[in-house]
Structures are given as structure tokens and as C-alpha cells.
Amino acid sequence: MNLSDSRTAGPGVQRVSAMEAVLAHLRDAIARGEYAVGAKLPSEAALGKEFEVSRSVVREALRGLQALGLTVSRTGKGTFVVADEPVDNPRFGSYSARDLLEVRRHVEIPAAGYAALRHTADDLGLLTDLLERMARETDDTAWVALDSLFHITVAQASGNPVFGKVIEEIRDALARQSAFLNQRGDRRAESDAEHRRLVDAIAGGQQDAATEAMAHHLANVEHALSDIVGRPR
């Protein structure tokens, strides 16, 4: 079963990532009872062979299942099914989606406003470079790393090192959440456009526009999370 070039049905027929295709297949298999609660999933190597994708793709899909609360990973034993319906509040490493969104609203929105007022030429150059690299990037894992770096850079451009430290602390969780959100085939392009609007506001010294752009971005993150968690079987 080759899922490396899957497409979704519907208007325009949209290409989806291999990770999204594997995750959707496993999620549906759990919902159907093909893998019952308590069952052990096949190994990464076995799943990679079955779907004809790399182990890194399988690993990201398994992380998505864990974020949804459908499975747990037991060191040295494998991945086991613990539920057949996703949780309302996915977890990304040490933090839940709710944890991240609450903190990000209180940190990243004001930080974006301060960045519009206090950024340096170096800050703006780095943000612009990150935008261009993300637009060109074809590897999803590399894009996710750049996405986390972008948000750290915005926080650092605020001129307040505390903002930067907070976002650094949740960097791994942000990366996991970003990879999870990329299940929705259009999310990455949307995120690139939202980032560009934010940088335009920062570059123009527009504090209100920068805070509004970040608030809009985080609202779309929340909507995408709800969309993925609430997908019908």
C-alpha cells in the first residue's frame, strides 16, 4: 500500500503528505476496531514497509496518534492502543494544546507588538530570511523546525529576553504541534501567508497590526486543531 503520493477527495483534489495519509489510515483502523484497545501496533519498520514510506514518516504519524490520545508508546515494548476516539485536548510532549494556546496568547501577541516597535535590522533580516526558506522548503520536518525558529525570533525581536525564553521553553511542543497541524493539507500554506502578514506589520512598525496578525495566526491554529480532532470517521 503506497501512501507516499496520496490525494484527498473533493474539489480541486488536494495532495496530502505521506504522514497525513499514514496517520489517517491508522486512525481509521483504530476507529473500526482493526486495532482494538489494548492491541499493539506493528513496528515502525513494519508500518514503513506496509505503506512504502520512511520510518521518519511513520514516527511522525505515531506521534500524531499519541497526541490524539489514541495510543501510548512504551519504551522497549512498542505502541499500544488505549482509546478508539480522540481526546478533545491533544498533548504535544509535556504540554497540552490548551496549555500552549493559553500561554501563546499571553506571550506571543504582546511580543509581536513590541517587535514592531523595537526590532533591529538584524531581527528583520532574520525573519525575512526565515520566510523565504520556509516558502522554498520541501521537507515537512525541516519546515517545522523553521516554523519554531520563526516564532522564537519574533519573541526575541520584542527586545524583552523573557519572551524569547518562554518560547524557547516550549520549542519542542511547538514543533510537535506544528507537525500535527500539517495533517490538514492546506495548513502549511496558510501559515506561511499568516507569517508574512506578521512580518510586514513588524517591518512597518505597526504595533496594532502586528498584534492582530499574531492573534489571527493563533486563532487559526486553534481552528485547525479543532478541525483535525473533530474529523468524522
Domains with residue ranges and CATH for the chain: 18-81 (1.10.10.10), 91-229 (1.20.120.530)
Closest by Cα among 47, 66, 68 to 4: 47
Averages of pLDDT over each 10 residues, the chain, 233 residues? 51 57 91 94 94 89 90 92 90 92 97 98 98 92 94 98 96 92 86 98 98 98 88 52
- Per-residue pLDDT, 160: 97
Q: What is the pLDDT of residue 19?
A: 79
Rounded Cα–Cα distance for residues 213 and 207 (Å): 10
d(CA 54, CA 58) in angstroms, rounded, equals 7
- Taking a C-beta distance cutoff of 8 angstroms, is the pair 92, 177 a contact? yes
CA atoms of 177 and 182, how far apart (whole Å): 9
Bridge partners for 72 per DSSP: 80
Amino acid at position 193, single letter: A
The DSSP secondary-structure symbol of 40 reads: B
Question: Environment class of residue 187 by beta-carbon count within 10 Å: exposed (0-12), middle (13-18) or buried (19+)?
Answer: buried
DSSP 8-state secondary structure symbol assigned to residue 163: H
